[in-house]
Amino acid sequence: TDGRVLLCSSFSKTLSPALRVGWCAPGRYLERVRRLKFTSTLGTPLVLQKTISDFLRHDGYDHHLRTIRRAYQNQLHLFTQAILRHFPEGTRLSRPSGGLVLWCELPAGVDTLRLHRDALKHRISTAPGPLFTVKDRYKNCLRMNCGLPWTDEIETALKTLGTLAQNNSDAFASAVAQSPPTTMKRTVVLFLFPDVEVLDFAGPFEVFAVTDELRGYDTFNVITVAETAAPIRARNGLRVLPDHTFATCPPPHLLIVPGGFGTRALLKNEPVLAWLRTQAASAELVMSVCTGAFLLARLGLLDGLRATTHHECLDDLRALAPAATVDPSARFHDNGKILTAAGISAGIDCSLHVVSRLLGPAAAASTARYMEYPPPT
């Protein structure tokens, strides 16, 4: 490392929290660190430092670490068993190989912020999962501190906390039973091909993936598909590995057909046209971006509808879909099941429109705000 790595730690977690003594091996930066230490801390606990130094010199620290590791492992075991004993069925624990905490995942629907408020009434403090994220996640998780020595009081507190969590879970289950059915999770399939325009598929991918993330990953399953499993070289050289081939792709609820120069060759590719025809017939929604509309036109899906594409390709679309009304006045057109978006970035607008249509304007606005994109109008 040539002395460029600074090693530092503290004795607070291993000897005593009251010590507040740390150490640093600053390598080549020793003199600089000494100056910084002097300018930031005028008082130094010399007695404590001397005591710890003697403790280290006579190998007491190594013996202490072996002892404390066994103690902490035993405490983790006692906490784990008590949680599994008293918490609702389905509770899962992530047990680290070291440290003093457990990550506790309660059954879906348990609101640990509400659980925290209920527990405070019993003089029990918790660390709800939402404290550890800047996003709307970990609502049913707790971080459990296992550093305190095990006592009957801790056992009683965990039992009480488990009862409160069960009551929380039961209340959620009752509310679900009395509420109307929730929206199903939809599969969004983005069709990829050589020379596909990158933003034509990446823009919609981001919209639906972000929406799914913001809603707790229960709304959209966003995947890519290509004719073969080989990497796709998109427009301007970007290489993309598709998730599925035609043979393995699940049926789409929403089929997205992007554009790009590669659509011209696909107009004569019968296996691709046959697959698109089959998937479009059963899909809830079919959406094209840019010259992806060429493929919908080739399949006759635009006949009698209002459609659009990239502004430089409007005449080509008119030739391919003489029975359609090619209208460049809007960034996208919604015909019910069939939607077409204009060039490139318009696919984002159309995708946000679909989110608004399926989940409501508030969901689309949240996604647009997260993406730093103008909200749909």
Each as own residue / partner, the long-range contacts of residues 61-67 (CB below 8 Å, 24 or more positions apart, any chain) are 61/15, 64/14, 64/15, 65/14
CA 278 to chain centre: 32
Name 182's Cβ contacts closer than 8 Å, sequence gap at least 6.
Answer: 176
Count H helices and E strands in the chain, helices first: 12, 17
35 - beta bridge partners? Answer: none
What six digits make up the tokens of 213?
Answer: 């993330």
* CA quadruple 201, 207, 210, 212: dihedral sign: negative
Q: Is 141 a catalytic residue?
A: no
Q: Which is the catalytic residue, given 249, 290, 313, 350?
A: 290
In angstroms, the CA 171 to CA 166 distance is 9
| pLDDT tens, per residue, the chain with 377 residues | 577 888 888 887 778 767 778 888 888 888 888 888 888 776 667 788 888 888 888 878 888 888 888 888 888 889 999 999 999 988 988 876 667 888 999 988 889 999 999 999 999 999 999 998 877 788 899 999 888 889 999 999 999 999 999 988 877 666 655 545 555 789 999 999 999 999 999 999 999 999 999 998 989 999 999 999 999 999 999 999 999 999 999 999 999 999 999 999 999 999 999 999 999 999 999 999 999 999 999 999 999 999 999 999 999 999 999 999 999 999 999 999 999 999 889 999 999 999 999 999 999 999 999 999 988 77
The dihedral over CA atoms of 268, 269, 270, 275, expressed in degrees to the nearest 10, equals: -130
| Cα angle: 241, vertex 246, 252; to 5 degrees | 95
Question: pTM value?
Answer: 0.55
